[in-house]
Structure 1
Amino acid sequence: MKRYAQEVSGGCQCGAVRYHATEMLDNSHICHCRMCQKAAGNIFIALVAAPREAIAWTRGQPARFRSSEHVDRGFCANCGTPLFYENVKGGHLNFTTGSLDHPELFPPHVHCGIEGRVSWFAALPTMEWLGTTEAEMSAEAPDIRATNRQHPDHDTNDWPPRSSDHE
């Protein structure tokens, strides 16, 4: 795997766990195996790795679940966000691409675990696009936006914000 001197940051939805990596690997991929489906609570998981020595936990620490003898799954114990897949005998940690502050920088190159791929996955590109934004999809969107507790896609000195920060 190639190494890239690319700095990234990311974390969970609530902001209790944040990380920073000074180097990334070129293994961006989607895994369809049933174990990854369960870990992500979705039909696949998108992952991209950083060498262990390039990673620093900048706020909090992830909780871990040993999903097999060789694999730890990291997540936020506070909000449940899946954060990583780690082969405990390997030299890198695979971050969930969606937990990165800029997931768009890591398009997947390959699919793996395809024995677990759901039968309708290949039909996704043919589906009709609704063509609406989140705000247009829900009458509750203004209330959701006004009470949003999601951490922003960048590092913050303090989190959660003081109530005066929302005003």
Structure 2
Amino acid sequence: MTAGASHSGGCQCGAVRYRASGEPGYPHVCHCRMCQKAAGNYFLPLGSFMRVDFAITRGEPKWFRSSDLVRRGFCGDCGTPLFYDIPEADSVNITLGSLDEPDAVKPVMQSNTGRKMSWFHALDTLPVEPDDESSEREGAIAASNHQHPDHDTSHWPSGGQT
């Protein structure tokens, strides 16, 4: 992507959306215990954007102050973690998984690896569950999907969803 690139993203339900321009600074995977708990996962991918290049375009996140220095923004409706913010800083960190195109930003570093799961090296040796695209369950999920699409919409929810 070019320096003038634009990134959009948001939560799973679409209540909170954002847009940022430029390339994210220090895209990385954090393994610290705070990020693990904030993400409900083993690590949290983050990247920063200058505040002047960042805007919330729909809704307002809820905030949890995880330390005296940091607050974490998330959707108050669906719970999606969205931001790692040091209010006094010139930039804001977004969760890379909340981007509409998360594959567009590759992490360049890992941090706090002392809390990294000891068995991560074995992930590629695990058996892979076969994809069954014709299953009834997959069809039912696709037909009843309430997740916001991976692009901006003028209104959400659409189609009468509540």
Q: One fold, TM greater than 0.5? A: yes
CA contact (8 A) 1:24 1:51 kept: no
The equivalent of 1:105 in structure 2 is: 104
Give the letter for the 2:150 counterpart.
D
The equivalent of 2:18 in structure 1 is: 19
**TM-fit CA distance, 1:4:** 3.2
**TM-fit CA distance, 1:139:** 4.2
- Structure 1 distance, partners of 2:39, 2:152, is 23
2:156 pairs, out of 151, 155, 159, with 159
**TM-fit CA distance, 1:127:** 2.3
Give the letter for the 2:96 counterpart.
T
Identity in percent: 47
1:150 aligns with 2:147: yes
Give the letter for the 2:50 counterpart.
P
Give the letter for the 1:79 counterpart.
C
Give the letter for the 2:147 counterpart.
Q
- Structure 2 distance, partners of 1:47, 1:84, is 8
**TM-fit CA distance, 1:87:** 1.9
**TM-fit CA distance, 1:154:** 0.3
- Structure 2 distance, partners of 1:59, 1:162, is 18
- Equivalent positions of 1:113-124 (< 5 A) are 113-124=112-123
- Equivalent positions of 1:1-167 (< 5 A) are 4-132=3-131, 135=133, 139-163=136-160
- Structure 2 distance, partners of 1:41, 1:96, is 13
Give the letter for the 2:87 counterpart.
V
Unaligned regions of 5+ residues in structure 2, if any? none
TM-score (norm 2): 0.91
Higher deviation after alignment, 24-33 or 38-47: 24-33
- Structure 2 distance, partners of 1:55, 1:111, is 24
Give the letter for the 1:13 counterpart.
Q
- Structure 2 distance, partners of 1:122, 1:7, is 34
TM-score (norm 1): 0.89
**TM-fit CA distance, 1:128:** 2.7
- Structure 1 distance, partners of 2:123, 2:84, is 25
2:66 counterpart SS class: strand
Q: CA RMSD in A?
A: 1.8
CA contact (8 A) 1:4 1:26 kept: no
- Structure 1 distance, partners of 2:106, 2:9, is 16
